[in-house]
């Protein structure tokens, strides 16, 4: 083989190798996009399943309460039990649990969003005091601060980071 043919052959091989690397890069990017879409769909499915469970529970309790209103009172009974009073007497989720639930749904939240959620879920707690819980959770490695005023659940090294 003469030198010119060898150079032409080497040039063609280099071009084919570059084309194949580009095809591999595109295929990898497509696979990564599909995996991210699948992760997102699974998260959405989990959220909707949780919402459906909560709605079903609320519906069954409301139906039971309404059916109790339709039944005549037994001797000695003065009224139908109040579901609001019953709910207040049940144990509530801790502030830390409220924060973790919010961050599972939202991935990342600001201090203001967390404070609002704590205020809604735990009206008996002063929402401004949740900073203490946030600091404890960061120190224990449950939460991280990606930037000032923002929080997200700490991710184990084996778990992918969602942005």
**Three-state secondary-structure class, residue 125:** coil
pLDDT digits (tens, 9 = 90+) for 60-109: 888 888 887 776 656 655 555 555 555 555 567 788 888 888 888 888 99
Answer left, alpha or beta for residue 72, where phi above 0 means left and psi between -120 and 50 means alpha: beta
The answer to pTM > 0.85 is: no
Distance CA 140, CA 135 (A): 9
């Amino acid at each position: 083989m003469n030198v010119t043919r060898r150079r032409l052959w080497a040039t063609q091989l280099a071009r084919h190798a570059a084309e194949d690397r580009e095809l591999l890069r595109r295929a990898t990017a497509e696979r990564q996009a599909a995996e991210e879409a699948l992760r997102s769909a699974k998260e959405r499915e989990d959220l909707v399943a949780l919402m459906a469970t909560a709605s079903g529970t609320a519906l069954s309790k409301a139906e039971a309460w309404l059916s109790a209103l339709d039944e005549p009172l037994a001797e000695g009974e003065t009224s139908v039990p109040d579901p609001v009073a019953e709910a207040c007497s049940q144990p509530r989720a801790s502030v830390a649990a409220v924060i973790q639930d919010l961050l599972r749904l939202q991935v990342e939240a600001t201090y203001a969003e967390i404070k609002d959620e704590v205020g809604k879920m735990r009206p008996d707690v002063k929402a401004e005091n949740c900073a203490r819980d946030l600091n404890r959770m960061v120190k224990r490695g449950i939460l991280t601060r990606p930037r000032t005023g923002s929080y997200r659940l700490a991710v184990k090294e084996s778990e992918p980071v969602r942005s």
